Chain A
Amino acid sequence: QSALTQPASVSGSPGQSITISCTGTSSDVGGYNYVSWYQQHPGKAPKLMIYEVSNRPSGVSNRFSGSKSGNTASLTISGLQAEDEADYYCSSYTTSRTLGVVFGGGTKLTVL
């Protein structure tokens, strides 16, 4: 399974909006709606922020939103806050070669 493609880093100022892209293939992102996004702070376990492309788990701020177009999924964070600074990973169900899950390489979000 090849990793999904994410930008290595993005940045934004408090209050601004940023978008992180996640590009896969028709065997993963483009073929299924099981795309998820995770936030990970240093030394902590990942936290689910978005599941099934655009759904937010209970307790996750509505500043976080997800979408998908073709083979590319996106995570948008609006009204950036200092505590949003973290690594973000996308993932997708995949049927490439074998059934499984594939993660993106991760994106470091810096809040300026």
Chain B
Amino acid sequence: EVQLLESGGHLVQPGGSLRLSCVTSGFTFSSYAISWVRQAPGKGLEWVSGISSSGGGTYYADSVKGLFTISRDNSKNTVYLQMNTLRADDTAVYYCAKDNLWFRELSAFDYWGQGTLVTVSS
């Protein structure tokens, strides 16, 4: 059974940093790209960042470029999202999601985690 489990979300002050983790199981992790998608309270989905199966390709939304860094450890079946200089409008539930195609990133997301809540507030 494919599973993705996010962790690391909590309350942080504006300007602070946070690292989210996405631990996966049930599929050949090193063959699939992973993305982070966020959803602000009461709002729609926003793609944040993606990483290729090898980790050699990383992609970011304009809103987080230069502030967030995505990485993966294929030995631990885990993807990370390092978030720096957080702002109030980064407050959201952050989902990690698996791409549905082998060795192809940014196609479609067939499995999602349950999400982790990041709240940026003083």
Contact = CB atoms under 8 A, between A and B. Distances in A.
Contacts of A46: 37, 45, 95, 97, 109, 112
A93 B59 contact: no
B88 interface: no
Interface string A1-27: 101000000000000000000000000
Contacts of A3: 44
Contact of A101 (B50, B95, B112): B50
Contacts, number: 72
B46 interface: yes
A89 B37 CA distance: 13
A70 interface: no
A99 B113 contact: no
A93 B65 contact: no
Contact of A93 (B37, B44, B45, B106): B106
B78 interface: no
23 contacts: A38-B45, A40-B45, A45-B113, A46-B112, A47-B112, A48-B100, A48-B108, A51-B100, A51-B110, A52-B107, A57-B100, A91-B45, A91-B108, A98-B59, A99-B106, A100-B47, A100-B106, A101-B47, A101-B106, A102-B47, A103-B44, A103-B46, A106-B44
Interface of B: 35, 37, 44-47, 50, 59-62, 65, 95, 97, 100, 106-110, 112-115
Q: Top 10 closest A-B pairs, CB basis?
A: A51-B108, A36-B108, A101-B47, A45-B112, A106-B44, A103-B45, A48-B110, A34-B107, A105-B44, A93-B106
